[in-house]
Structure formats: C-alpha cells, structure tokens
Structure 1
Amino acid sequence: MLRISDDIAIEDWEITESFMRASGPGGQNVNKVSTAVELRFEAERSPALPDPIKSRLKRLAGRRWTKEGAIVIQCDETRSQTRNREIARQRLAALIAKALVKPKRRIATKPTYGSVKRRLAAKKARGEVKALRGKVGEE
C-alpha cells in the first residue's frame, strides 16, 4: 500500500510494475540484469481518488497519462532494481500529493487610478521622443 495522505492510500493491486534492462553505464550488469522499472497506475479507475483530484492529476501528469487513463512512470537512475522501484513509487506519491492541493482561484483586480495615469504619461513621453526622430523639414 502506498499512503499519500491521511485519507488517500493507493492499494498494491492498482499499481503494476514491469522491469526491463536499463541503458547507460553499468558494464556487464546492464546487459544481464533488468534494473529499470516502469510503474503503471490505473488512475482513471482508482476508487481511492475523487473525480476533481483525477482531473488535476491528468493535467499534472501530462504525457505520462495514457489514453486508457493510466499514469506511466519510468525510472532507471540507479543500478539497483529495488532503489529504482522506490524512486518510481516516490514520484507517483509526489505527483498525487501535488494534485491534492486545490489551486487558488485568481481574483481579477483593477489597476489603480494612479498607475493608469503613470502608464499613459510614460506612453505620451515615449511618443514625443519618437516624434522628434523625423527628418528635419526644409525652410
């Protein structure tokens, strides 16, 4: 079980892990041992997550979210399979924890009277500077 918060926990049956050979340095180890992990969490079908959290999770996951509604996380950072498993689970937990935070609604504000006046005065001064750049007329 992967505990995210006090009221949300992901059961082990919701997560599937597959192992493959990692790329990069590691000598003979890299050719023999399947150390890289691909963690798949069926987020769309998860009973642990409410719908608003699922929609925020979908937006946060980006291209890690599949068409079937699963989140796929890959990790091949270390040469240890168990460590890669832990890192992938931590990444999933961090992603879900980030989706739990409800974003604040932005309150539209009006610019102050003084700031509008200052902006318009600056625009007028800049326009006058540019107007003086023209060719000097013949007299």
Structure 2
Amino acid sequence: MFLAEFAQGVREGLKETLGTMNRSRMIMLAIIVAIALFVTVYLPYSLRDDSDNVTATCTVTKAYTKDRGGSDVSGMTNIAPVGIFETKECGTLRLSVAPSGWKIPDYVQTAQVGKKYLFHVANDSAQKERDFDTTRFEEIKE
C-alpha cells in the first residue's frame, strides 16, 4: 500500500513540475542529471585500481617493453608502449597502463629478473590464472 501511494505521489509531483516547465529548462535539467551521473558513477569507476585484490605470485624471468602495434578507432597506428613480463608460474603478463606517477618503460625497469612479485590481475583481463593483464606489481620480501 505504502509503495503504491508513494508512486502515485511522485507521479502527481512530476506532472505538476513538468507541466509548468518549458522545453529549455527540461533540456538543462537532463544535462545536469547526465553530468551528475557521470561524475558520481562512471568517473570514480574508471579512475580506480581495477584489480579488486585478485593477485598472483610470479617469478620474473624477463621484463621488457614493446610497442602496442595495431591501429585505434581513428585508423592511426598506436605505438604506445606495453610492459611485458615473462614469468615461470604465470606465463606472459601485460601491463597496458602504468600506476599513477609512472611511465611504462620506467616502471617495467624496476622489475628484477629472478625475483618474486605479487602481480595484481586486471578485472577486464580475459584470463585470471595465466597470461593475464596486470595493473601493478609489488616485490615480495622473503
């Protein structure tokens, strides 16, 4: 009962408000709502570290960078660097975006061959066990 009465009240309130509102105000309201949703929902999601604490412990056997290759939507060749980590336990890992404050080549150079690292698995990685995309890594002190 309460929910039906609430919905009826909302409907009547919207009719009163929108009935007196001209077209330009409705467009401005829609733009403000769209911007508010972008700032409160999409922006925080896209700026966060997307590993969600899914990690893998891997021993680095080789770490290097290479050009991404291929082309982007506009048809331009994309030569942005990608970090590649070859590991014993986890296969080949890719780092497409460096952590804040780092450039990919500089960040990849910090990985030392033969050391174990805790790699954070990216949420959008197709695989989670081997040959995955990573967001960052941390040295494991033994």
**Same fold (TM > 0.5):** no
TM-score (norm 2): 0.26
Instruction: Give the structure with the larger helix fraction.
Output: 1
TM-score after normalising by structure 1: 0.26
